Chain A
Amino acid sequence: MNNWQRQHPAAIFISFLNSLKQLIVTLVLVFIFGQTSQGMSSIFFISFFLLILFGSLISGFIGWWKFQYYLKEDELQVKQGLIFRKNRFIRRDRVQSIDINAKVIQRIFGLVELKIETAGGGSEPEFRLIALKRDDAELIKKELLEGKSASQEKEGYLGEISEGMAQSLSLSDYKEAETKEQESSKAFTWDLTPKRLIIAAITSSGVGIAATFMAAVISQVPQFLPDWLINIAIGWIVQSSIVYVGMFLVTVLISAWIFTIISTVLKYGMFSVTKRGKDIHISRGVLEQRQLTLYENRINAVRIVQNVLRQPFGYCAVYVESAGGGTKEEDLSTILLPLCKRNEVMNLLEELVPEYAFEVSYESLPKESMRRYMIKLFVPLFIAAGIITYFFSYGWLAFIFPIAGGTLGYIQYKTAGIESFKEYLCIRSRQLSKTEVFLPKRRIQDMVHSQNPLQRLDQLFTIEVSVLTTVVGKVFSLKHISSQQKENYMEWYSYEESTETLLPEENI
């Protein structure tokens, strides 16, 4: 493959369908959230629609025609654009992650999409080839992943963070590159079993988001029902508003739950993660197939999440924060293990990212912070419940919420913990789901301790640390640590020997 190539012509159709999909999504949103007003004439509307369709077809064609790529040794060159010409050179050592996806549209043509993420932010850190034959995609992936000559192997996957960082990485890469040859033969594979997939789907926490969406959809349903039915329904509703509200909530929750189960199964079905050398290959998806390659030394943090439904059964999900590879649906993280037992995590991490394979016992927070956690949830809900009681009959039922809130606050306090284990900062906290995060000191970009006026009363602080994830930085924080803990972690993170050895600014 030593010349300029175009993508498969299906690219035209795929980009056309993509813009069509967006158009339909917009229309549906307008339909659901904007009440239908007959302001705009339908002819104008349809012609406008057709114009956009035609335009996107043309632009899809031009996009395909003017897009060419050239796979060289260790490098992918791309030129694109009709009016504004653009040339891109994607070098192997700048690649953060490589993603091969087969979405439904691509699967119709038996093609795949290749997504490459490169280091160094910029305006376009990611790059897509939307229609490739699988063989071609694998070829590009192989070239950008492994390179051809062994000498380049030793360069490692650098090009990130500061110069100093790169040096420290290259040293370790050197050693590992030598052993890589032997290692590459034995690979570790972990599959999500069907039983666990089902459990993952049933206990998924996406229910909340789905419920909001369903509520919006269902509230529009009465528009399509015949008038007589609505009249009967309204007569019945007026009699028993509580029952109606209850029915509505139940319908919303059940449909949202089913929706989440199906979407989780489609998303995480056939999930498999393989560790080969320093690369972690993740493939997943039933309809939309996704294959992702991450580098072990690009992983900046590991996060273990146990939601409320999973915790009682000892299940959890493991995410990694990596420079590259994250998706918006997962908060720019990448899911490493969709569902496993909490007590298996250490052994699995030992195989996948051995650096993070440890268990810690967390130091809990001071007594004073219990009050802060409980008050924060109790007081606003208590006031809200007071207002509801004043205006609605049965409003006093709302006092359940402040009690639940206070209890949750207490549980949050009990969950919260912080510990430094060797060169790792470990934070355990809870909103609803119990989350543990392991952060290596050398990946933490900065550390902030803050104190608000309420915390000042009890001499409590909030600790925040930032790491780099896909494209942007991500902040992990723990509220209400004691001032002793604050001092400890400042000292733990500080690179100064002690406070005595500071150099006055003028002398430098």
Chain B
Amino acid sequence: MRSLPDKSLAPKALSVWKISAVIESVFLFLIPLAYWGTMQIWELPLWILYALIAFAAVIAVLDIFIIQTLKWNRWKYKVYENEVELMRGVFIVERVIIPMIRVQHVDTRQGPILRHYKLASVTISTAATVHEIPGLQMEVADELRDQIAQLAREADPDE
């Protein structure tokens, strides 16, 4: 059995994800709002409105308090000498292997929320795909970027 990757993301990343989930769930409440809008024009049953509100609320609560935590718990990465391994996904669990000799470049990037929490994401690009390790502490992210870049440079092409 190949051992699972064991490095977690920064604990603060969970807070950032929860904030993003709150922002996203605001949009979820647009559905009952739109229904309420149509109710002003046509006669429509009221109970559907309550059902929609309840639905949006349940989804929002699940997303903010459970899904994000599960997602954070699942997210693991590990940097080996010759490859990077990622594990992610709440329902569909993915394990990704990216060999160092296939890495074309590594970046760190930050959005406004990430910056506020002094976090950054690391993106690893190959010729065909791009993978992101979201939400690491800034110093860790910078270190990781330099480390992967270094290992990618050293990777032996004959292997």
Contacts and interface: CB of A to CB of B under 8 A. Distances in A.
Interface in A485-508: 487, 490-491, 493-496, 499, 501-503, 505, 508
Interface string A422-455: 0000000000000000000000111111111100
Nearest to A451: B93
Interface stretch (B10-18, B46-54, B60-68, B122-130): B122-130
Contacts, number: 112
A162 B103 contact: yes
Given A495-B100, A505-B7, A449 B95 contact: yes
A450 B82 contact: no
Nearest to A164: B157
A495 B159 contact: yes
Nearest to A453: B91
Given A473-B127, A496-B81, A448 B94 contact: yes
A310 B158 CA distance: 40
B39 interface: no
A404 B157 CA distance: 49
Interface string B127-159: 111010000000000000001001111011111
Most buried by A among B91, B101, B129: B129
A445 B42 CA distance: 56
A490 B101 CA distance: 16
A490 B147 contact: no
Nearest to B151: A508
B107 interface: no
Interface residues of B, number: 40
A451 B92 contact: yes
A445 B126 contact: yes
Interface stretch (A178-186, A213-221, A287-295, A464-472): A464-472
A446 B97 contact: yes
Interface string B84-122: 000001011111111111111000000000000000000
Given A164-B101, A452-B92, A495-B83, A445 B127 contact: yes
- A contacts with B: majority SS: mixed
Contact of B131 (A446, A456, A493, A494): A446
Contacts of B41: none
B40 interface: no
B137 to A, nearest CB: 14
Contacts of B104: 161-162
Given A168-B157, A445-B126, A493 B97 contact: yes
B34 interface: no
A502 B80 contact: yes
Contacts of A469: 128
A496 B128 contact: no
Contacts of B81: 496, 501-503, 508
B15 to A, nearest CB: 24
B86 to A, nearest CB: 9
Given A452-B91, A490-B2, A495-B159, A447 B79 contact: no
Interface in A156-189: 160-165, 167-168
Interface in A277-330: none
A492 to B, nearest CB: 11
B92 A496 contact: no
Contacts of A466: 126, 128-129
A172 B120 CA distance: 41
Contact of A450 (B92, B100, B152): B92
A168 B159 CA distance: 10
A474 interface: yes
Contacts of B157: 162-165, 167-168
A496 B102 CA distance: 14
A472 B158 contact: no
Contact of A164 (B3, B89, B147, B156): B156
Most buried by A among B2, B101, B127, B131: B127
B102 A161 contact: yes
A499 B3 contact: yes
B22 to A, nearest CB: 26
A503 B100 CA distance: 14
A468 B127 contact: yes
A353 B95 CA distance: 32
B122 to A, nearest CB: 13
B101 A165 contact: yes
Nearest to B125: A445
A446 B96 contact: yes
A463 B108 CA distance: 28
A168 B155 CA distance: 12
Contacts of A487: 1-2
A468 B92 contact: no
Contacts of B147: 505, 508
Most buried by A among B82, B156, B157: B157
B129 A445 contact: yes
B31 to A, nearest CB: 25
B128 A474 contact: yes
Contacts of B159: 495
A472 B93 contact: no
A445 B102 contact: yes
10 smallest beta-carbon distances between A and B, as pairs: A473-B128, A164-B157, A495-B82, A445-B126, A445-B128, A466-B128, A168-B157, A450-B94, A468-B127, A468-B128
22 contacts: A161-B102, A161-B104, A161-B127, A162-B103, A162-B104, A162-B152, A162-B155, A162-B157, A447-B96, A448-B95, A450-B94, A466-B128, A467-B128, A473-B126, A487-B1, A490-B95, A494-B82, A495-B82, A496-B83, A501-B81, A503-B80, A508-B151
Given A452-B91, A495-B83, 4 more contacts: A447-B96, A451-B94, A495-B155, A499-B3
